Amino acid sequence: MRRDATDVLLVVDVQNDFLPGGALAVPEGDAVIGPINRLAAALPQVVLTQDWHPPGHASFASRHPGRRPFETVAMPYGAQVLWPDHCVQGTPGAAFAPGLRADGAGLVIRKGIHPGVDSYSAFLEADRLTRTGLAGALAERGLTRLFVTGLATDYCVLWTALDARAAGFDVVVVEDAVRGIDRDGTARAWDAMERAGVRRVMSADLG
């Protein structure tokens, strides 16, 4: 696949809490770092996203008496999976993985910052109304093709890729640069992305 000046590498949530040993560890989450570092060196622009919740965020099971992580509850904006406390603003768990070499990133989008609303997507929060500004920022920079990488395939990568397609971007998910939380959920995520016109490549195909 030929690379272009309008390409951007989007690195989703490569933060300590999603790595092995973290509060919401994604199996093999650390395996994405090598491919992402190589892509960051090869692509002209890099954008990072950072899950960045205030303490006591509504997506935390600890905020819902009698509920446990991975249960689903009804929120005003729809169904919400409850998570262990993770990526709390300013904590070591919310920091980028120390091995990530993306100092050249031109933009960091923080998401999940509103106490009562989650945001898996880097574009649109879970209320499906509140925009992060990412679509406009990419458009202003003339970036039209997104190479999506990071964590987790079945949540933040999935929603980010689908919303990117809905916003009119060309979207390519780099298979060896993403990992999922749940096996079945990850298989369903790939199906949904394929139906939405998301392409799938290996990082080696990008040369």
Euclidean distance between CA atoms 78 and 80, whole angstroms: 6
Cβ contacts of 93 within 8 Å, gap of 6 or more: 15, 16, 17, 22, 23, 86, 87
Q: How far is CA 105 from CA 14, 43, 49, 64, in A?
A: 13, 11, 10, 36
Among 52, 83, 147, 169, binds ligand VGL (CB under 6 A): 83
Shortest distance, CB of residue 6 to ligand VGL, whole angstroms? 26
Which of 16, 30, 47, 51 touches ligand VGL by CB under 6 A? 51
Gap between the Cα atoms of 113 and 55, Å rounded? 10
Please identify, among the stretches 51-59, 68-76, 170-178, 194-202, the one whose residues bind Zn ion according to the rule CB under 5 A: 51-59
Residue 51 touching Zn ion (CB under 5 A): yes
d(CA 9, CA 13): 13
**Catalytic (active site) residue 13:** yes
87 is catalytic: no
Whether 111 is a known active-site residue: answer: yes
Give the range of 46-54, 101-109, 162-170, 199-207 binding Zn ion by CB under 5 A: 46-54
Site membership for Zn ion, residue 13 (CB under 5 A): no
Sign of CA dihedral 135, 191, 177, 87: positive
* Interacting span for ligand VGL (CB under 6 A) from 69-77, 139-147, 148-156, 184-192: 148-156
How far apart (Å, rounded) are the C-alpha atoms in residues 118 and 111? 8
Residues that bind ligand VGL (CB under 6 A): 13, 18, 51, 83, 120, 151-152, 155-156
